[in-house]
Amino acid sequence: MSIPASKPLRQLAAALVFAAAGLSIALPFVSATLLTIVLGGVAVAGGISQLLRLTGGGDLSTKLFRALSGLLYVGGGLWILVFPVSSEVSLTLLVGLLMAFEGVMELAAGAAAKVPARGLVIADGLVTAILGGLLIAEWPSDSLWVIGTLFGVALAFSGVNLLTAPDPSSLSAND
Protein backbone atom coordinates (compact mmCIF):
# COMPACT_ATOMS: atom_id res chain seq x y z
CA MET A 1 0.00 0.00 0.00
CA SER A 2 1.35 3.39 -0.93
CA ILE A 3 1.39 5.92 1.90
CA PRO A 4 0.26 9.50 1.07
CA ALA A 5 3.01 12.04 1.72
CA SER A 6 0.99 14.67 3.58
CA LYS A 7 -0.13 13.92 7.12
CA PRO A 8 -3.67 15.37 6.66
CA LEU A 9 -4.14 13.23 3.55
CA ARG A 10 -2.95 10.14 5.48
CA GLN A 11 -5.40 10.93 8.28
CA LEU A 12 -8.27 11.39 5.81
CA ALA A 13 -7.38 8.14 4.03
CA ALA A 14 -7.18 6.34 7.40
CA ALA A 15 -10.57 7.73 8.45
CA LEU A 16 -12.14 6.48 5.20
CA VAL A 17 -10.49 3.07 5.60
CA PHE A 18 -11.70 2.83 9.22
CA ALA A 19 -15.23 3.75 8.09
CA ALA A 20 -15.13 1.04 5.42
CA ALA A 21 -13.75 -1.42 7.99
CA GLY A 22 -16.54 -0.59 10.43
CA LEU A 23 -19.20 -1.03 7.77
CA SER A 24 -17.67 -4.30 6.62
CA ILE A 25 -17.60 -5.67 10.16
CA ALA A 26 -21.09 -4.35 11.00
CA LEU A 27 -22.58 -5.66 7.73
CA PRO A 28 -20.46 -8.73 6.92
CA PHE A 29 -23.04 -10.37 4.65
CA VAL A 30 -23.33 -7.23 2.51
CA SER A 31 -19.57 -6.75 2.24
CA ALA A 32 -18.99 -10.45 1.50
CA THR A 33 -21.63 -10.38 -1.22
CA LEU A 34 -20.19 -7.21 -2.74
CA LEU A 35 -16.67 -8.67 -2.66
CA THR A 36 -17.95 -11.84 -4.33
CA ILE A 37 -19.71 -9.83 -7.05
CA VAL A 38 -16.55 -7.79 -7.67
CA LEU A 39 -14.58 -11.04 -7.94
CA GLY A 40 -17.07 -12.30 -10.53
CA GLY A 41 -16.79 -9.06 -12.50
CA VAL A 42 -13.01 -9.24 -12.46
CA ALA A 43 -13.15 -12.85 -13.68
CA VAL A 44 -15.45 -11.90 -16.56
CA ALA A 45 -13.18 -8.98 -17.51
CA GLY A 46 -10.13 -11.25 -17.37
CA GLY A 47 -11.85 -13.83 -19.54
CA ILE A 48 -12.86 -11.24 -22.11
CA SER A 49 -9.27 -10.00 -22.11
CA GLN A 50 -8.04 -13.53 -22.83
CA LEU A 51 -10.55 -13.95 -25.64
CA LEU A 52 -9.53 -10.62 -27.18
CA ARG A 53 -5.94 -11.85 -27.27
CA LEU A 54 -7.02 -14.52 -29.75
CA THR A 55 -6.76 -11.93 -32.53
CA GLY A 56 -2.98 -11.70 -31.95
CA GLY A 57 -0.32 -13.99 -33.29
CA GLY A 58 0.38 -17.48 -32.14
CA ASP A 59 -0.08 -21.03 -33.27
CA LEU A 60 -3.31 -23.02 -33.07
CA SER A 61 -2.50 -24.73 -29.75
CA THR A 62 -1.73 -21.39 -28.09
CA LYS A 63 -5.00 -19.94 -29.33
CA LEU A 64 -6.92 -23.04 -28.23
CA PHE A 65 -5.58 -22.92 -24.67
CA ARG A 66 -6.11 -19.16 -24.50
CA ALA A 67 -9.71 -19.60 -25.71
CA LEU A 68 -10.38 -22.34 -23.15
CA SER A 69 -8.88 -20.19 -20.39
CA GLY A 70 -10.95 -17.18 -21.45
CA LEU A 71 -14.16 -19.20 -21.62
CA LEU A 72 -13.47 -20.69 -18.17
CA TYR A 73 -12.96 -17.23 -16.69
CA VAL A 74 -16.07 -15.81 -18.36
CA GLY A 75 -18.18 -18.83 -17.38
CA GLY A 76 -16.92 -18.86 -13.80
CA GLY A 77 -17.34 -15.10 -13.48
CA LEU A 78 -20.90 -15.23 -14.82
CA TRP A 79 -21.70 -18.08 -12.42
CA ILE A 80 -20.45 -15.94 -9.51
CA LEU A 81 -22.48 -12.95 -10.71
CA VAL A 82 -25.67 -14.99 -11.09
CA PHE A 83 -25.24 -16.95 -7.83
CA PRO A 84 -23.22 -14.70 -5.49
CA VAL A 85 -24.42 -16.24 -2.21
CA SER A 86 -23.67 -19.80 -3.32
CA SER A 87 -20.31 -18.58 -4.55
CA GLU A 88 -19.57 -17.11 -1.10
CA VAL A 89 -19.86 -20.60 0.36
CA SER A 90 -17.23 -21.94 -2.02
CA LEU A 91 -15.06 -18.87 -1.58
CA THR A 92 -15.11 -19.32 2.20
CA LEU A 93 -13.81 -22.88 1.88
CA LEU A 94 -11.09 -21.67 -0.49
CA VAL A 95 -10.06 -18.92 1.95
CA GLY A 96 -9.93 -21.47 4.79
CA LEU A 97 -7.76 -23.84 2.77
CA LEU A 98 -5.45 -21.02 1.67
CA MET A 99 -5.09 -19.75 5.24
CA ALA A 100 -4.36 -23.22 6.60
CA PHE A 101 -1.75 -23.81 3.88
CA GLU A 102 -0.19 -20.37 4.40
CA GLY A 103 -0.04 -20.96 8.15
CA VAL A 104 1.74 -24.28 7.73
CA MET A 105 4.21 -22.69 5.30
CA GLU A 106 4.85 -19.82 7.77
CA LEU A 107 5.45 -22.36 10.55
CA ALA A 108 7.92 -24.23 8.34
CA ALA A 109 9.67 -20.98 7.38
CA GLY A 110 9.86 -19.93 11.03
CA ALA A 111 11.26 -23.28 12.07
CA ALA A 112 13.88 -23.17 9.30
CA ALA A 113 14.84 -19.50 9.67
CA LYS A 114 17.52 -18.21 11.99
CA VAL A 115 16.40 -14.57 12.04
CA PRO A 116 15.58 -12.23 14.96
CA ALA A 117 11.85 -12.19 14.10
CA ARG A 118 11.62 -15.99 14.10
CA GLY A 119 9.16 -16.02 17.00
CA LEU A 120 6.83 -13.60 15.20
CA VAL A 121 6.92 -15.69 12.03
CA ILE A 122 6.03 -18.80 14.04
CA ALA A 123 3.25 -16.95 15.91
CA ASP A 124 1.88 -15.62 12.60
CA GLY A 125 1.95 -19.11 11.12
CA LEU A 126 0.25 -20.63 14.15
CA VAL A 127 -2.56 -18.04 14.22
CA THR A 128 -3.09 -18.22 10.45
CA ALA A 129 -3.17 -22.05 10.48
CA ILE A 130 -5.62 -22.11 13.40
CA LEU A 131 -7.91 -19.55 11.74
CA GLY A 132 -7.80 -21.50 8.48
CA GLY A 133 -8.57 -24.71 10.35
CA LEU A 134 -11.50 -23.05 12.11
CA LEU A 135 -12.89 -21.80 8.79
CA ILE A 136 -12.67 -25.30 7.35
CA ALA A 137 -14.16 -26.93 10.47
CA GLU A 138 -17.10 -24.51 10.62
CA TRP A 139 -17.71 -24.50 6.87
CA PRO A 140 -20.35 -23.93 5.46
CA SER A 141 -22.11 -22.40 8.47
CA ASP A 142 -19.67 -19.47 8.65
CA SER A 143 -19.79 -18.76 4.92
CA LEU A 144 -22.16 -15.82 4.91
CA TRP A 145 -20.31 -13.61 7.37
CA VAL A 146 -16.66 -14.60 7.62
CA ILE A 147 -15.32 -13.08 4.40
CA GLY A 148 -16.88 -9.69 5.14
CA THR A 149 -15.58 -9.76 8.71
CA LEU A 150 -12.06 -10.76 7.67
CA PHE A 151 -12.09 -8.02 5.04
CA GLY A 152 -13.15 -5.49 7.67
CA VAL A 153 -10.37 -6.57 10.03
CA ALA A 154 -7.82 -6.35 7.21
CA LEU A 155 -9.06 -2.84 6.39
CA ALA A 156 -8.74 -1.84 10.05
CA PHE A 157 -5.11 -2.98 10.07
CA SER A 158 -4.52 -0.97 6.88
CA GLY A 159 -5.95 2.08 8.64
CA VAL A 160 -3.58 1.57 11.57
CA ASN A 161 -0.73 1.23 9.08
CA LEU A 162 -1.71 4.56 7.49
CA LEU A 163 -1.64 6.30 10.86
CA THR A 164 1.55 4.73 12.20
CA ALA A 165 3.70 4.62 9.06
CA PRO A 166 6.64 6.99 9.03
CA ASP A 167 6.39 10.11 6.87
CA PRO A 168 7.56 9.02 3.38
CA SER A 169 9.44 12.29 2.90
CA SER A 170 11.57 11.55 5.96
CA LEU A 171 12.82 8.27 4.51
CA SER A 172 15.97 8.35 2.44
CA ALA A 173 16.27 6.59 -0.89
CA ASN A 174 18.63 4.02 0.68
CA ASP A 175 16.11 2.78 3.30
Instruction: For 111-164, give the DSSP string.
Output: HH--STTHHHHHHHHHHHHHHHHHHHHHTTTTTTTHHHHHHHHHHHHHHHHHHH
Per-residue pLDDT, averaged over 161-172, amounts to: 69
List the single range of 47-51, 120-124, 127-131, 136-140 with lowest mean pLDDT.
120-124
* 77-96 per-position pLDDT tens digit: 999 999 998 898 888 888 88
Mean pLDDT of the chain: 86
- pLDDT for the residue numbered 95: 86
